[in-house]
Structure 1
């Protein structure tokens, strides 16, 4: 009986280690904020929830034009990050009456058409067997 319990415990240990190993981190760093006023708000999406309710949302202060957040416990898969400089700390992106953004924003791949909202297929990236670090420019 002790032998079976030992085998069961070892099996559970190895399975849980494998599941934990599949969870990664995504570090997103804005490198060129125009001022240290306010904060940078970040949102992590997958294709199914893109530009709706994010998987994770975080904010970070700005110091010397840089801001950084870490999304933890991210499963292997395909994702996109959108962030914006919330200069007035109102927790939303502000727009002009004509629909143009009043606050700087950036995306995970810095490969975005600036004449409309970001498109998932243009800014997606993969999380595989390693942690991911993204440098985002406004």
Structure 2
């Protein structure tokens, strides 16, 4: 009887503490100010820049530094897009000529002319927690 109770307790506790996926910590480099907020959005190839993110996080900046976490990410290929939303209006603002007014970045830190693309931003998530550092 004690063995059965012990087994049930272990099974329930392992379910309660099981992690469904990995945690991605997004670290922001070279922010220009503490104004506003930073955000990170996680996409797969099918959703990159065409649909809502699979995961998203938002946070504050202190001493021109910030980090966010995206939790329970399943193994696969993803890309991250980040934004320094200085005026906290929840979107990227643009100049009249179409150039961004606010800093943004992508995983792998590839900054090309035009909007980000999944091929440049993609990285692989395995079974271990990871950190992605993004320059703005």
For the aligned pair, the TM-score class normalised by the smaller chain equals 0.7 to 0.9
Deviation of 1:134 (Å): 0.7
1:77 counterpart residue number: 76
Could you say which residue in structure 2 is the equivalent of 1:127?
125
Runs of 4+ in 1 over 3 A off after TM superposition: none
SS at match of 2:39: strand
CA distance in 1, matches of 2:126, 2:20: 8
Unaligned runs of 5+ residues in structure 2 are none
Give structure 1 stretches of 5+ with no counterpart.
Answer: none
Aligned to 1:34: 32
Q: TM-score scaled by structure 2?
A: 0.85
Structure 1 SS opposite 2:127: coil
Q: d(CA) in 2 for partners of 1:50 and 1:77?
A: 14
Residue 16 of structure 1, CA deviation: 5.5
CA RMSD of aligned residues (A): 2.4
Partner of 1:101: 100
- 1:11-64 CA-partner distances (Å, limit 9, x unpaired): x77x969xx456101100102110000001111111111112101121110011
Distance 1:41 1:21 in 2: 23
How many residues are treated as equivalent by the alignment?
132
> Could you tell me the TM-score, scaled by structure 1's length?
0.84
Q: CA deviation at 1:112?
A: 2.9
1:85-131 Cα offsets, whole Å, 9 max, x none, are 10001000000111100001111111231x10001010100001211
